[in-house]
Structure 1
Amino acid sequence: MTTVRPFAASDLFHFNNVNMDHWTETYSNGFYLNYLAQWPDMMLTACAAHSGKMMGYVLGKTEGRAPKGRASAEELTLHGHVTAVTVAPEFRRLGVAQMLMDFFELVSERVYEAYFVDLFVRPSNAKAIEMYEKRGYSVYRRVHAYYRGGSPDMMEDGLDMRKPLPRDVQRQTVRKNGHRVVVRPECAYLHGT
C-alpha cells in the first residue's frame, strides 16, 4: 500500500534510495528548498505505508503567463513543468509514477488553469517515454545536448514532451513530428521556438 503526502524539507534526508538511480537528476538542497518555498502544492511524496520508506516523488513548478483575450499558440505559455518525477527501483511497476503524474496534471489543470504540462526526458530512457506517450504526451522538440554525462564529451539530447490540458481546446501547445524540431539548449526555455 502507498501513502502520499506533501513533500517536506526533511525528505531531503531520506530520498537517497530514490535519487541514487542513474535516470534521476539530482539537484542541490537549495534547489529543492526553493521549489518547496515557491510551489509547495506541486510537490508530492509517495511512501510505503508499512515502513514509511520513500518510494518516489514529483517536483515541479508553473511557468509562463496566461494570455489576455484571444491568443496565438506562442502566447499559450502558462503550463506546469515537471522538473523531476522519480521512483526508487524497488518500487517501480507499481503505478507510483502514474499516481504522481496524475496529481501533478490535476494541480496544473485545476489550480493553475494551465494549457499544458511539459517535461524533459532522455531519448535513451525508453520506459519513461513509453509511459509518457501512454499518458498523452508527445515530443514537442528535441533539445540538442541538453543532458550532460560524466565528462564533456558525454552529452545526450533531451526530448521536450508535452501534454495538452483541457484549457487548450484547439491543441495549439503541441505539434506533430516534434522529433524533427531541434533547438539549442540556450533556446530550450524560449516559447514558440
Structure 2
Amino acid sequence: MHIRNAKPEDLMNMQHCNLLCLPENYQMKYYFYHGLSWPQLSYVAEDEQNRIVGYVLAKMEEDSDTTHGHITSLAVKRTNRRLGLAQKLMNQASKAMIECFNARYVSLHVRKSNRAALHLYQNTLEFEISEIEPKYYADGEDAYAMKRDLVEFARIHNIKPSDPTFFDKKPDKKNVQSNASQATISPSPTSAS
C-alpha cells in the first residue's frame, strides 16, 4: 500500500470510493473545490495495482479566529480496512495542515452511530468530542463534532511548521473546553432509519 498526495486525475476515483463506502456523498464539483483550493491536504491510498482504495478529503476553515483544518471525508474500501490506512491518511493530512498552514487543530463530524469511526478518532487519533450537532445529517441523525490538537501532534511527531512562533502561541479561550463541559459518549440504540 502506498499513500500519496491526491492529484486532479484522482478525483473521480476518490468519488467512486466515497460512493462505495459512505452514506454521505458529494458532487464532483466539491472534490474539485477541495483539490484546487487546498491541493496539499488531500491524500489517497493505492494498492499494488495503483487502484485507489482509500482517501482523505481535507480543507482549511476560513471563518475562524484560529487557523484550523477540517476533514470533509475519510473512506477506506472494506477489503482494505484494518491495515492502518485511515490512520496514515489522517496523519498525513494533519501533517500537511501544520507544515503548509500552521493549523492548530483539525475538526471533523461523525455520525453518533458510527462506533468504528468513533473508536478510530478517539482511541487511535486522539480526537475529542467538542459538541453534539443535532440532526446534522440529511437523514436526521446527530453528529459528534470532534477536534484533534495539532500543536501536540506536531511536537510528538517532530513536525516543523512554517511559522517559527507556532509552538509559542496560546490557544484561543473559545477553543479550550473544560473536562466538565465536554460531551461524552453514552450507550444508545444504533442509528435511526
Q: Which TM-score band (shorter chain)?
A: 0.7 to 0.9
Contact 1:142/1:178, CA 8 A, preserved across alignment:
no
Q: Percent identity?
A: 28
Q: Is structure 2 residue 97 aligned with structure 1 residue 108? A: yes
Task: Sort the Cα spacing of 1:24 and 1:91 in 2 relative to 1 into closer, same or farther, 3 A.
Answer: farther
Q: Give the RMSD, CA atoms, in angstroms.
A: 2.2
Q: Secondary structure at the match of 1:42?
A: coil
Contact 2:105/2:148, CA 8 A, preserved across alignment:
yes
Deviation, structure 1 residue 5: 2.3
Equivalent residue for 2:82, pick from 93, 98, 120: 93
Task: Name segments (4+ residues, structure 1) moved above 6 Å.
Answer: none
Q: Secondary structure at the match of 2:31?
A: helix
Deviation string 1:57-90 (CA, Å, 9 cap, x unpaired) is 1111111478xxxxxxxx4x21010101111111
Q: Secondary structure at the match of 2:25?
A: coil
1:66-81 equivalences under 5 Å are: 75=65, 77-81=66-70
Runs of 5+ consecutive residues of structure 2 not aligned to the other structure: 152-166, 185-193
Deviation, structure 1 residue 120: 0.5
Structure 1 Cα separation of the partners of residues 176 and 20 of structure 2: 30
Deviation, structure 1 residue 164: 1.4
Q: Secondary structure at the match of 1:148?
A: coil
Deviation, structure 1 residue 42: 0.5
Contact 1:138/1:174, CA 8 A, preserved across alignment:
no
1:1-193 equivalences under 5 Å are: 2-15=1-14, 18-21=17-20, 23-48=22-47, 50-64=48-62, 75=65, 77-134=66-123, 135-149=125-139, 155-166=140-151, 167=167, 172=173, 173-175=175-177, 176=179, 177-179=181-183
Q: Secondary structure at the match of 2:121?
A: helix
Runs of 5+ consecutive residues of structure 1 not aligned to the other structure: 67-74, 150-154, 181-193
Structure 1 Cα separation of the partners of residues 56 and 89 of structure 2: 6
The structure that is helix-richer by fraction is 2
Deviation, structure 1 residue 118: 0.5
Task: Sort the Cα spacing of 1:65 and 1:156 in 2 relative to 1 into closer, same or farther, 3 A.
Answer: closer
Task: Sort the Cα spacing of 1:121 and 1:82 in 2 relative to 1 into closer, same or farther, 3 A.
Answer: same
Q: Secondary structure at the match of 1:124?
A: coil
Deviation, structure 1 residue 21: 3.7
The structure that is strand-richer by fraction is 1
Q: Count how many residue pairs are aligned between Structure 1 and Structure 2.
A: 164
Task: Sort the Cα spacing of 1:141 and 1:87 in 2 relative to 1 into closer, same or farther, 3 A.
Answer: same
Query: What TM-score do you get using the length of structure 1 for normalisation?
Result: 0.76
Task: Sort the Cα spacing of 1:27 and 1:17 in 2 relative to 1 into closer, same or farther, 3 A.
Answer: closer
Task: Sort the Cα spacing of 1:16 and 1:60 in 2 relative to 1 into closer, same or farther, 3 A.
Answer: closer
